[in-house]
Structure formats: structure tokens, C-alpha cells
Amino acid sequence: MAVIVATDDPFSGIARQMSKIIDQVHRGYYNFSPGETWTPNVNLYETETSYIVCVDLAGIEKDKLEITVDHHALKLKGHRAVPISMDGDIPNQRLRVHLMEIDHGSFSRDVELPHDVVQQKINAQYQNGFLWIDLPKK
């Protein structure tokens, strides 16, 4: 399958990453703010018949996701818990955090929809930590 990359602003991804780094520097290396929301990464694809949104939501339980469409915007909200070890003994032990890069807590992401989307036929599937949303065209 051929992939064609189409972007309006070739530096939008860099700007988003730089903003995240600056935010981390302002909070400080060891500062932890669980009340803040984070923004999951999104890929947007287009075929002849639909737009496809892929959202990176690794570690999020399906029942913690809220997906709505409002005024030509796809709104995603949810919550990701702090990742814990699969070893059952660790939650009972005190942990010292040396590095915490995996975002957790509440998240929110709005994706503006093109005007030619058939909103009544939007379909979403959650597979292997990715939310795939099919947005059929009129």
C-alpha cells in the first residue's frame, strides 16, 4: 500500500514536540503534575472514500474512552492510569521515580473534521493500543 504524506505545515510536528519539551522544562525534572491533561498523538489518513484517524492510546482501557462528534469536530477524552509493573509485588513496595516520560492521567484531543464527512456513519475500533476511526466521505 502506497502512503502519500500530505501536510499543510511541514513543521507542525516539530512545534508540538518543542512545546512539550518546553512545558517539561518549566515544570522541572522531578516535578509531577497528575492533574494536568495530556494530548495523545494522532495520524490522519485519506482514501478515496474516507478519512481515517489513528490515535495512540496505549495502556488505556476501552471503557475509559469517550468519543463524540460536535460541530465538525471529533472529541476524544479519557484517562490513562500510571503504568505499573506486571509483577504483583511492586505496587506494595515504595518506588523511587527516576524518569517518567509516559503521559498519564486525563487526556483530551479534538480533531477538526472536513465538511464532507457523513457523521452518522462514523465507525471506531480499538486495537492493540490504537483507536482507529473511519470517517466516510459524502
CA distances (Å), origin 54, targets 1, 63, 112, 127, 134: 17, 18, 14, 10, 9
Within a 13 Å sphere around the CA of 129, how many CA atoms are in the beta-carbon half? 6
Assigned domain for 31 exists: no
* Host domain of residue 96: 37-136
Assigned domain for 52 exists: yes
Assigned domain for 30 exists: no
Residue identified by cell 504483583 is 88
Assigned domain for 88 exists: yes
Assigned domain for 44 exists: yes
pLDDT score recorded for residue 100: 80
Encode burial over 37-50: b for 16+ CB neighbours within 10 A, e otherwise.
eeebebebeeeeeb
Is the whole model's pTM more than 0.85, yes or no?
Answer: no
CATH at residue 62? 2.60.40.790
DSSP state of 43: E
Average pLDDT (75-101) is 77
Q: Which three cell numbers stand for residue 35?
A: 492533574
Q: Which three cell numbers stand for residue 94?
A: 515504595
Assigned domain for 47 exists: yes
What is the per-residue pLDDT across 39-66, written as a single tens digit (0 to 9) for each?
A: 899 999 999 999 999 999 999 988 889 9
